[in-house]
Amino acid sequence: MNILIWTYDSTGLFENKKAVERIKKNNSVVTAFGKKEFDPEGSDYVVVFPEKLAPLLSKARARIYGSPKEYGYDMESLCRANRGFLKVGRDKLISGETLQKTGLDINDYIKLRRSNIDFVTETCIGGALEHVLGLRFNNPFINMRIGFFSSDYRKLLKDYGRYSSMLPKTETDGFMNGFSKRGGFEGRTAYPVLWFDDIVLHGFHYKSAEDMLDKYSQRMKRWDPLKSIVVKIIYDEEDLDFFMDLKIERKLGFYYGTTDTENVIRIPFDETEKKKWAYSYASYLYQLAISGEIFKVSELGKWLLKKIDEWSE
C-alpha cells in the first residue's frame, strides 16, 4: 500500500492541486497533516496531527509531499527515522516546496533524487542545487569555494583524481595572497579555510576549520568522485575551450554564450554586467539555483534526466 501525505494549507485547499490529482491515482490512502485535525467536507482525505501518522507509516511505503515548515514543523524532526514523529527516513520525503520552486514534474523529481546525483562546483552553487532538490550532501566540496582564482579550480580539475583522494589540512606553512593560514574574510565576515598545499578551500558556511574538516572527512567516506557531476562556470571562450578538453566524463558547464557543446547549458546574462565582473555571473547563477529558477530558465532538468538514463545503461 502506498500513502500520499500532504500538507494542508490555511486556506483549506491542497497546495498545487493538479499535482495531487496526478499522485492520488497511484496511492491507496490520501491524508494530510496540519495544526488542527478535521475532516474537510466533500473530500477524500482527513487532516491529522503528524504524530498520528506514525503507526500507519510503519506498515506502508509513504510519499510525504509538502512544506511542513509553514505549519510549525521542522522537516528533520518529522522524518528522522529514529526520533521523528513520522518515523521515516528522508528518502521517503517528497517536498512540495521543491516542486513549486523548480517546476519539476513529480515523477521526474523522483527520478532525479533516486539517481543520488551530486555536484562538484567551484562556488556554492553545488550546495544551492542540492539544497533546492532536497539531496543529501555527498561530496566533500559542497558549500565551499575552491581557490582564489578560476585558475585554481582549473588546476584541481586537471588533476581531479589526485585532489579528490586527498584530505586537506587545517593549516599551511605560510601565507598566500593576504590570507592567513587559519582563515579569510568575505567583506567583513571572517570564515575558516582548509588547504591543499597549493589550493585553498573557502568555508563561508562553516563555523571553524575543524568543523569543515570533520564534514569533509564524513562526506569523503561516502563519495564516489567518478559519479559526481563536475560543474564549470564558463566565463569566456578560453574557459569554454578548457571545458571541452577536460577529460572528465560527467561534466556540466554553464555559459552565457551560444555553443553547440553538448554538456554546456546556456543561461543568458546581461551583457553590461558580464563585462564588469566574472564573479557577477557566478553570483547570478547561485541566485537562480537557490531559488529553483534555474530549472525554469534553462534546460538543466531535461539535461540531467537525459544523462541519468545514459549513465544507467
- Please identify which residue in the block is written with the cell numbers 545514459: 310
Indicate the range of 39-48, 101-110, 215-224 predicted with least confidence: 39-48
Residue 233 pLDDT: 94
pLDDT at 40 over 80: no
Residue 11 pLDDT: 42
Q: Which residue has the higher pLDDT, 255 or 274?
A: 255
pLDDT at 177 over 80: no
Indicate the range of 140-144, 224-228, 269-273 predicted with least confidence: 269-273
Q: What is the pTM of this model?
A: 0.74
Residue 94 pLDDT: 63
Residue 53 pLDDT: 56
Q: Which residue has the higher pLDDT, 278 or 84?
A: 278
**pLDDT, mean of residues 241-253:** 95
Going by pLDDT thresholds of 50, 70 and 90, the confidence category of residue 189 is low
Indicate the range of 18-32, 86-100, 101-115, 191-205 predicted with least confidence: 18-32
pLDDT, tens digit, 9 for 90 and up, residues 118-173: 999 999 999 999 988 888 888 999 999 999 888 899 999 999 999 999 999 887 54
Residue 190 pLDDT: 74
Q: Which residue has the higher pLDDT, 226 or 177?
A: 226
Residue 22 pLDDT: 53
